[in-house]
Chain A
Amino acid sequence: MKSQKLPEVLAPAGSLDKLKVAVLYGANAVYVGGQKFGLRTAADNFTEDELREGMAFAHARGAKVYVVLNSFLHDKDLTELPEFVSFLEDIGTDAVIVSDLGVVRTVRAHSTIPIHVSTQASTLNVHSALLWKEAGAQRIVLGREVSVREAGKIRREAQIEIEMFIHGSMCMAYSGHCVISNFTQGRDSNRGGCAHSCRFEYSIEGLDTLEKKRAFFMSSKDLEGLRVLPAFIEEGIDSLKIEGRMKSHLYAGTMAKVYSEALRFYAQHGHFLSDDLRDWEAELSKVSHRAYTEASLLTPAGPDSIFNERENASEGEWRMVGTVVEANPKAGIVLEVRNAFNQGDEIEILPFRGSAVRLRALEMSDLASQPVVRTRPTTLVRLPFVSGVEAMHLVRHRINP
């Protein structure tokens, strides 16, 4: 019963700009949040105008848009939901991502939008998937504790679409089963207020020993499943999800690009046996991340999946320096600078497909044509035009050569 259908690449989009980046770099679908009902309160999130525009942008390029409604909503939150659900249906939302049965019932009562059950619901087995299917779900986003092999079994036996995380930060707890922030910070982690208490250092004292040990014992390494792609395909997993609506444009673009290119390679060749695999891994390493783990994709995650380091110890070697806002022979390449770099530095422009364009920033000027020796964030800088470079291309710079 093995299937060879390729899964969709589902990328995070914390803002309209990131949605465009993810779609242009190859994502088959994106997930976004409105101003309410999601789990990323601190993200930009989308206004209703932006949702409408993002939907149109994605659909015009063959990509789908899923909207997260995955907070554990309280009764007072639910009163505002029906109107928003009707709006989402009107603008052509491809699915909503939900973790609460009350939200499932509300969505079903006010729309026919397909329902995906969020990983927050920690669906881990066939019977759980069957229950959500009976409740009206079309797809399950499995808990990150489930292996790809188990996921294939759930898909076959529950006869329901399966989505799995392939990349990104991970909750150490079963998703939706951590309330540290709620009780220690007064912020509901399951309504978007997670304070990331698991990322801090703890002092641990065994009850029968006087010795104290300090460790980041609740912090998980980041998931990276590139080499597991063949298993995802063999098991017929429908969607591969990339975590990270709060992360950068460079992250959204790089992840969408790498995973979609890898799947396109497979579609063309029927295997992943390629030198490109090293290139894809190199690309993934260029984005700031914690140490990578395959977590439970193949076997249950063990102690080696703990990221026992302080967060800032894992800065990536590359940093996004800006986005191309316009590129043509007349205007040159105009770059919106996000992080400073110097004249003469080597930068890489990441095209939507294919290898990065590497160039040395020898000639730089501001918009008034004055030479620039060192760029500054929140300025525009002009570089000579290079064929193939387009607006929305991301530009990065190696910070630790």
Chain B
Amino acid sequence: MRLTTYARTLHELSILCDQGFREVILEPKALARFGKLSNDEFIALFHRASELGLRVLLEWDILMTEDLFGEKVAALRELLPYADALRVQDPGALHWALKETTKPLQFIAENGNHNRAALEGWIDLCGGRLERVVLSIELSKTVIEDYVEHLSVPCELLGLGRILLFYTPRPLLSALLPERTAQNQDLAALGESEESPHKGFPLVENQHGTFMFHIKEFCLLEYAADLRSAGLGFFRIDQRWETPPKLAEISALSRHFDPQAFERLKEGYSQDLMRGFYLGNKTDSQFHKLKNSRLQKREGNYIGEVLEVQKASHLAIMVKNLRGLCLGDVLQIMHPKGHLIDTKVHALRNLALEPVSEVPPGEVALIQFVEGVWAKAQVYFIER
């Protein structure tokens, strides 16, 4: 398992070299979400990285509408000779790079792509050009191990760094911080939501849009040995927001985990750390609570819904099935709170209050009043 990371200065390149890195991610300002490098700076860093034996990965991870895409392709063409591989996230960038370049490609599949079939799909679409796939940090340990074992290209995973929660092209901070906007600078702020006990969500607005991060950083340093054993190809360290960067300590922990050294790192780290969903992703476990299952219709024997209950007079039932409702039918009525009431239809009228033997689908049936039934209750056949 190799380490990979970002660099923005010549000095940082030297540190990477000292720490045994063999590659570096460089981010042009025009093409990368958090890029700071002008074209000249990028080229200078490329030359220095090459001298140091570092492979240069050009990060082109912004999403682009069509007009912007044309502009960015022009910018990319200037830098393409100075990159050993391209890292892309927009599927359009991937397609363009497949057609217009011969560079090795790395696909950032961090957004979604939570099934192996999807990742195999991207690999197949690239027809052998993909040299790496960057996995989502929402994947759990067992899933990561499965992908690492079965995918035909090496996988990369964030080992330590910020968790991006939100990305929009719209400028959301400008209106709130006009004095900073006037200086044409990137904007940085902290957000605190009224709905959440969490405070201090880092916010960034730059030329590519507005970004919000989690208050804690993602950290799998404790599990680096497991990931190495599983065969993970690349472990990414993101220190772009940590001042000063703690690359040496983190690199050492990645290679050999020392609990005491880890505690010291955490004490000196600017943000709290979390392992996200690494030990298990249960983000669908609350879904059954989002609606009342007793108001959900069942298949087959469903008749309809009680629209009105008139005490001592009738129940009005909207007949929603395809068979209608007949005199003599035996019904089961499910109260929204769950209890069940059985009844036989012994009085049946239509809305003109005429006695009828059957009410067709799509119409309202009036049956005898049944104690304990409320409007919205669901009605089912037991027998006809």
Contacts and interface: CB of A to CB of B under 8 A. Distances in A.
A12 to B, nearest CB: 17
Given A42-B290, A73-B114, A73-B115, A193 B283 contact: yes
Choose among B65, B299, B307 the residue with the greatest number of A CB atoms under 10 Å from its CB. B65
Contacts of B340: none
B9 interface: no
A301 B193 CA distance: 24
B121 interface: yes
B122 to A, nearest CB: 6
B281 to A, nearest CB: 7
Contacts of A120: 112
Interface in B238-275: none
A239 interface: no
A47 B380 CA distance: 14
Interface string B102-126: 0000000001111111111110010
B322 A102 contact: no
B220 interface: no
A135 B282 CA distance: 30
A42 B282 contact: no
Interface in A181-227: 182-184, 186-188, 190-193, 195, 197-198, 200-209, 213, 215, 217-218, 220
Given A145-B169, A200-B193, A391-B362, A188 B283 contact: yes
A207 B366 CA distance: 66
Contact of B307 (A73, A106, A336): A336
Interface in A300-351: 300-303, 305-306, 325-326, 328, 330-331, 334, 336
Contact of B113 (A101, A331, A380): A101
Interface string B83-114: 00000001111111001000000000001111
A378 B173 contact: no
A186 B313 CA distance: 48
B64 A124 contact: yes
Contacts of A330: 352
B66 A146 contact: yes
Nearest to A133: B95
A258 B307 CA distance: 29
Interface in A142-182: 143, 145-147, 150, 153-154, 172-174, 176-180, 182
A128 B125 CA distance: 12
Contacts of B291: 41-44
B195 A325 contact: no
B188 to A, nearest CB: 5
Choose among A16, A75, A300 the residue with the greatest number of B CB atoms under 10 Å from its CB. A75
Contacts of B167: 173-174, 177-178
B343 interface: no
Interface in A114-134: 120-132, 134
A90 interface: no
Given A186-B282, A306-B175, A218 B196 contact: no
Contacts of B112: 72, 99-100, 120, 176, 190
B interface bracket (residues with beta carbon within 8 Å of A): 35 or more
Interface in A68-97: 72-75, 77-78
Contacts of A203: 191-192, 194
A50 interface: yes
Interface string B159-200: 000011111111111111101100000011111111110100
A87 to B, nearest CB: 12
A157 to B, nearest CB: 9
A130 B165 contact: no
A325 B364 contact: yes
A275 interface: no
A123 B321 CA distance: 40
A326 B118 contact: no
A127 B93 contact: yes
B152 to A, nearest CB: 15
B281 A183 contact: no
A100 B115 contact: yes
B229 interface: no
B92 A182 contact: no
Given A188-B284, A193-B284, A217-B176, A204 B203 contact: yes
A379 interface: yes
Contacts of A325: 307, 318, 351, 363-364
Contacts of A190: 112
Given A172-B170, A186-B286, A191-B287, 20 more contacts: A72-B113, A74-B281, A100-B114, A101-B113, A124-B69, A125-B68, A127-B96, A127-B99, A177-B111, A178-B167, A179-B138, A184-B196, A184-B198, A193-B283, A200-B193, A201-B193, A202-B201, A213-B176, A326-B363, A336-B318
Interface of B: 63-69, 90-96, 99, 111-122, 125, 138, 143, 146, 163-177, 179-180, 187-196, 198, 201, 203, 212, 214, 276, 281-287, 290-291, 296-300, 302, 307-308, 310, 313-314, 316, 318, 320-322, 350-353, 362-364, 366, 375-376
9 contacts: A101-B125, A102-B119, A129-B92, A135-B121, A145-B65, A195-B195, A206-B176, A217-B191, A366-B310
